[in-house]
Amino acid sequence: MIDLRIADDVAHVTLNAPDKLNALDEQALHGLDAAYNEAESAGVRALVLRGEGRAFCAGRDISDVDPRDDDVIGYLGGLVTPLLKRMSVFRAPTFAVAHGACLGVGLGLLIATDVVYVAESAKIGSPFAALGATLDSGGHALFLDRLGAHRTLDLIYTGRLMSGAEAVASGLFSRVLADDEVRQATEDAAAAAARGATQAFLASKQLVARIRDERLALWDAVEIENAAQAALCDTDDYREGFAAFQQKRKPQFRGR
């Protein structure tokens, strides 16, 4: 269900249940958590997450769920939310390939990823009114922040799904590409990041998270930027970057 391959300092994590559009049950969530832990322990400098087949991830696998005794809190609060938090603090830049259905927990996986490249075929939104359910896994926060209240509730009430182009134009994700180009573009971006100044990238990742989660004002954000820059002075890559600039050569970053 969850495949992990590591090559050239990049972890490739694949949701591999195409027959069910990579919908996630409890076992798959545990497998995804294990893959991220293994990749981080291996010291990778970038990670790519994608789905095999026609979709990235259609959400939760409800094929065997009985709504009369469904442990929603156990699934979402006990499994999904901790996984998304864990993904969001992965110790390297993370990238995702979004194509086909990207719904529910699948949307949450994208929210917890640093950079998301979206195929034109992507379908993003909240079709859950047809199930008597609501959007979860961080979807409300993402849509409200980027779309505003009216467009968020319009998507939820109507169940309309956005295309990849519309999702990117709305500021939800990073870039839209043709279906036959999006995977390669994402893997190329991850490979480039893996050759970069990892500690500087992590500093920016943490800064962005703090500014978002703490709703920091401009000058408060500047203060923590200053502190982050001062801390980077002690890294090998900071020194290498300055040396390469002064010597007019390409830097050779080692991620330290």
Question: 30 with 77, same domain?
Answer: yes
Flag whether 224 is in a domain. yes
Question: 113 with 99, same domain?
Answer: yes
Q: Which helix (H) or strand (E) holds 161?
A: strand 161-162
Average pLDDT over residues 83-112: 96
pLDDT attached to residue 132: 82
- What CATH number has the domain bearing residue 92? 3.90.226.10
The distance of Cα 25 from the centroid of its chain, to the nearest Å, equals 19
Question: How many CA atoms, within 13 angstroms, populate the side-chain half-sphere of residue 214?
Answer: 12
Flag whether 78 is in a domain. yes
Question: 181 with 101, same domain?
Answer: yes
Flag whether 252 is in a domain. no
Question: 80 with 28, same domain?
Answer: yes
pLDDT attached to residue 94: 98
Give the pLDDT band of residue 131 (cuts 50, 70, 90). confident
Flag whether 95 is in a domain. yes
Flag whether 253 is in a domain. no
Percent of the chain clearing pLDDT 90 (strictly above): 79
Question: 203 with 237, same domain?
Answer: yes
- Using the predicted structure, report yes or no on whether residue 69 has a pLDDT greater than 80: no
Flag whether 251 is in a domain. no
Question: 108 with 212, same domain?
Answer: no
pLDDT attached to residue 21: 95
Question: 104 with 81, same domain?
Answer: yes
Q: Please calculate the CA angle 125-126-127 and round it to the nearest 5 degrees.
A: 115
pLDDT attached to residue 200: 94
Question: 215 with 132, same domain?
Answer: no
Calpha distance 107→144 (Å, rounded): 14
Calpha distance 88→56 (Å, rounded): 18
Flag whether 171 is in a domain. yes
Question: 202 with 177, same domain?
Answer: no
Count how many domains the chain has: 2
Question: 236 with 125, same domain?
Answer: no
Flag whether 218 is in a domain. yes
Question: 87 with 212, same domain?
Answer: no
Residue burial 174-206, b: 16+ Cβ < 10 Å; e: rest: bebbeeeebbebbbebbbebbbbbbbbbbbebe
Please tell me whether residue 38 adopts helix, strand or coil conformation.
helix
Indicate the residue among 179, 194, 209 that finishes a domain.
Answer: 194
Question: 146 with 240, same domain?
Answer: no
**Whole-prediction pTM:** 0.93
Q: Domain residues for 235?
A: 198-246
